[in-house]
Amino acid sequence: MAQEPYSPRRSVLYIPASNDKALAKIGSLTCDAIIIDLEDAVLPADKKAARDKVAGILAARPERRCEMVVRINPLASEWGTHDLLAVAKAEPDGILLPKIGTPRDILEAGDILDDNFAPDSVKLWAMVETPRALLNIGAIAELGRDPAARLNCFVAGTNDLVKATGILADRRYLMPWLMQLVLAARAGGLDVIDGVANDFRDLDGFARECAEAAAMGFDGKSLIHPAQIGPANRAFSPSAEALAGARAIRDAFARPENAGKGVIALDGKMVERLHLAEAEKLLAKAAIIGA
Ligand code: COA
Ligand code: MG
């Protein structure tokens, strides 16, 4: 299940476990979550050394609340099971499973964690980056309803989806799949993070992509470079305009003449109790973020 109460995952930064210079920056980064990567960003020759570093990286985690997640290699690969066992011992907040295709892939990882007495606080995150995962997404998301399955968050793997399907690398063609992913995440009560923007020098384009992802319902964005943290945190925080609207709805329902009413008119628009619930959720979210 997604986190209750709300805990932000606006900015989720990948750091290759093989990049010491980037790892040294962890304490100064203002992202909501960090994914230490053992998979695509690490060459086969460096996999073992990278895995051996994870415990030390997690032990030195910053005091400031920043979720620490580790992306392991696929369980079917020669590194996967070793990665999972070693990483579980270091007790990260999450273990990100790449290239999943079916609910079984999640259950299998969860069983290994249970068998090795990993605490319940170690959650599973899943990369959605294969055609099979997208075709099975409803059944996979359903595991979010069972806390014992540990499934907590979906991450869109847009580069791998482009590669696996042969579509042009353009958001227009990814759109139906991304919207389906958001829908499935909501059905399963999971958080869902949009894929990366490879062109990390184009921060204007990045801000536009974040605004679009927020409008699509994503909770945050996958990042590859520290310069992307600020724009992502802004885009996935409630805007001043949205907060003013939420306060107006809350205040309107609090007026004595509206007590006990299910639906009211506010500035010429119909407002129902469901809008009040939505407004209260947004205000609570803003209070937690400090917006
Ligand atoms: N996390 C933390 N710090 C990072 C970082 C990251 N993901 N990416 C870059 N930095 C640091 C660099 O180490 C550099 O530090 P310095 O100022 O001490 O020299 C600083 O930010 C500026 O980096 P810059 O020179 O602009 O970029 P680069 O050429 O060093 O690196 C990439 C560019 C794309 C290779 C690098 O950002 C990266 O590896 N990103 C993550 C890729 C990844 O994990 N992919 C897998 C998931 S898709
Ligand atoms: Mg991938």
- If asked whether residues 219 and 250 sit together in one domain, one would say no
Instruction: For ligand 1, say whether the CB of 129 is within 6 Å of any of its atoms.
Output: no
Judge whether 147 lies within some domain. yes
Are residues 2 and 190 in contact, defined by beta-carbon separation less than 8 angstroms?
yes
Instruction: For ligand 1, say whether the CB of 22 is within 6 Å of any of its atoms.
Output: yes
For residue 1, pLDDT beyond 60: no
Instruction: For ligand 1, say whether the CB of 40 is within 6 Å of any of its atoms.
Output: yes
44 CA distance to ligand 2 centroid (A)? 15
pLDDT of residue 247: 98
> What does the mean pLDDT of the chain come to?
97
271 CA distance to ligand 2 centroid (A)? 42
Task: Give the mean model confidence (pLDDT) for residues 73-98.
Answer: 98
DSSP H helices in 60-126: 80-89, 103-115
Instruction: For ligand 1, say whether the CB of 203 is within 6 Å of any of its atoms.
Output: no
Instruction: Please give the structure tokens belonging to residue 269.
Output: 């628009």
Helix (H, G, I), strand (E, B) or coil at 179: helix
162 CA distance to ligand 2 centroid (A)? 10
224 CA distance to ligand 1 centroid (A)? 7
For residue 3, pLDDT beyond 70: no
Instruction: For ligand 1, say whether the CB of 15 is within 6 Å of any of its atoms.
Output: yes
Judge whether 1 lies within some domain. no
Instruction: For ligand 1, say whether the CB of 163 is within 6 Å of any of its atoms.
Output: no
Closest Cα to atom 18 of ligand 1: 21
Q: Which structural domain, as residue segments, surrounds residue 24?
A: 11-235
23 Cα nearest atom in ligand 1: 2
> What is the CATH number for 51?
3.20.20.60
- If asked whether residues 244 and 199 sit together in one domain, one would say no
Judge whether 187 lies within some domain. yes
For residue 25, pLDDT beyond 80: yes
- If asked whether residues 87 and 227 sit together in one domain, one would say yes
Instruction: For ligand 1, say whether the CB of 247 is within 6 Å of any of its atoms.
Output: no
pLDDT of residue 2: 62
What are the residues whose beta carbon lies below 5 Å from ligand 2 (ion)?
A: 129, 157, 160
- If asked whether residues 19 and 131 sit together in one domain, one would say yes
Residue after which a domain boundary falls, among 200, 219, 235: 235
Judge whether 224 lies within some domain. yes
For residue 160, pLDDT beyond 80: yes
pTM of the model: 0.97
pLDDT of residue 62: 78
Instruction: For ligand 1, say whether the CB of 219 is within 6 Å of any of its atoms.
Output: no
Instruction: For ligand 1, say whether the CB of 196 is within 6 Å of any of its atoms.
Output: yes
Can you tell me the distance from the alpha carbon of 202 to that of 285, in angstroms, rounded to the nearest whole number? 29
Instruction: For ligand 1, say whether the CB of 14 is within 6 Å of any of its atoms.
Output: yes
**In the chain, how many domains are there?**
2
- Testing ligand 1's pocket by substitution, the residue of 12, 99, 194, 224 carrying the most ligand atoms inside 8 A of its CB is 224
Angle formed at CA 264 by CA 263 and CA 266, multiple of 5 degrees: 140
Judge whether 35 lies within some domain. yes
- Alpha-carbon separation of residue 227 from 11, 16, 40, 114, 231 (angstroms): 11, 16, 21, 38, 8
Judge whether 225 lies within some domain. yes
- Alpha-carbon separation of residue 92 from 33, 159, 165 (angstroms): 11, 25, 32
pLDDT of residue 38: 98
Q: Which of 6, 7, 10 is nearest to 207 (CA)?
A: 10
Residues 6 or more apart whose CB falls under 8 angstroms from that of 74 comprise: 39, 80, 97, 98, 99
- If asked whether residues 187 and 86 sit together in one domain, one would say yes
Judge whether 6 lies within some domain. no
